[in-house]
Amino acid sequence: MEKEKAMSFSQEAWKRNRDLYQATLNLPFNQELSQGILDKDAFCHYVIQDAHYLVAYGRALAVCGAKAYDADGILQFTDAAHGAIVVERSLHEEFMQQFGITSEQFEQTLLTAASHHYTSYLLAVAWSESYPVVLAALLPCFWIYAEVGKDIFEKSVPGNPYQAWVDTYAGEEFNNAVRRVIETIDKVASGCDNYTLEKMHEAYTMSAKLEWLFWDSAYRQRQWAGLERF
Assigned domain for 30 exists: no
Is the pTM higher than 0.85? The answer reads yes
Distance between CA atoms of residues 214 and 178, nearest Å: 20
Identify the CATH number of the domain in which residue 154 sits.
1.20.910.10
What does the mean pLDDT of the chain come to?
91
Show the CA angle centred on residue 28, arms to residues 85 and 139, nearest 5°. Answer: 40
Under the banding of pLDDT at 50, 70 and 90, the label for residue 227 is: low
pLDDT digits (tens, 9 = 90+) for 5-56: 789 999 999 999 999 999 999 999 999 999 999 999 999 999 999 989 999 9
CB 130 within 8 A of CB 196: yes
Helix/strand/coil (H/E/C) assignment for every residue in 55-70: HHHHHHHHHHHHHCCC
Assigned domain for 17 exists: no
* 80-93: average pLDDT: 84
Assigned domain for 55 exists: yes
CB 67 within 8 A of CB 74: no
Assigned domain for 2 exists: no
Assigned domain for 27 exists: no
Number of domains in the chain: 1
Look up the domain containing 64 and give its range: 39-220
